[in-house]
């Protein structure tokens, strides 16, 4: 089998872009449809952060963090913030993750199979955090190389 280490930069790039775009989409939804956020907060998060103004501020923060993640900029701050949002988001949905088909914790009407990929997204954000130093296709790395070349 050939050396698979060449897959690492591209794989981390795809994880970074995919998870960052997801945050941008969720945040954009909160910004463009502010009435949707409080309803979702009430239904799935027991009303946590349900005020519309909080939802708008959170949406703006999600868009900003998502953009930083996609670009690979300020990764030391952006990756932990992304992981916090995505892992906490998955944790709050634990019933939907343990019973996506509504077989034992939920009834079939309240089950939601579309939440199940939250496990994968949360794990992807943790992988990015764990392998941050191997993510060499990021704007941080490009800027660092340029700065190093200028100081020589």
pLDDT at 39: 67
Q: Return averaged pLDDT per consecutive 10 residues of the chain, 152 residues in all.
A: 79 97 94 75 63 84 98 98 96 88 85 89 97 94 92 82
pLDDT at 34: 77
CA–CA distance, 13 with 72 (Å, rounded to integer)? 9
Q: How many CB atoms are located within 10 Å of the residue 71 CB?
A: 17
pLDDT at 38: 66
- Contacts of 1 by beta carbon, 8 Å cutoff, 6+ apart: none
Q: Are 23 and 85 in contact (CB under 8 A)?
A: yes
pLDDT at 121: 97
pLDDT at 90: 93
pLDDT at 151: 87
Where in the chain are the domains?
9-151
Q: Are 55 and 38 in contact (CB under 8 A)?
A: yes
């Amino acid at each position: 089998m050939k050396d698979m280490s060449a897959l690492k930069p591209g794989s981390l790039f795809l994880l970074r872009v995919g998870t960052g775009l997801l945050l941008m989409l969720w945040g954009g939804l909160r910004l463009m449809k502010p009435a949707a956020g409080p309803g979702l907060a009430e239904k799935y998060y027991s009303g946590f952060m349900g005020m519309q103004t909080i939802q708008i501020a959170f949406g703006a923060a999600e868009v900003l963090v998502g953009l930083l993640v996609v670009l690979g900029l300020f990764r030391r701050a952006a990756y932990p913030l992304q992981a916090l949002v995505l892992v906490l988001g998955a944790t709050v949905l634990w019933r939907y993750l343990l019973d996506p088909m509504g077989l034992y914790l939920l009834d079939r009407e309240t089950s939601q199979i579309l939440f199940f990929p939250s496990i994968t997204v949360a794990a992807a954000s943790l992988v990015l955090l764990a392998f941050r130093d191997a993510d060499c296709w990021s704007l941080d790395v490009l800027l660092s190389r340029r700065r190093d070349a200028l100081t020589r």
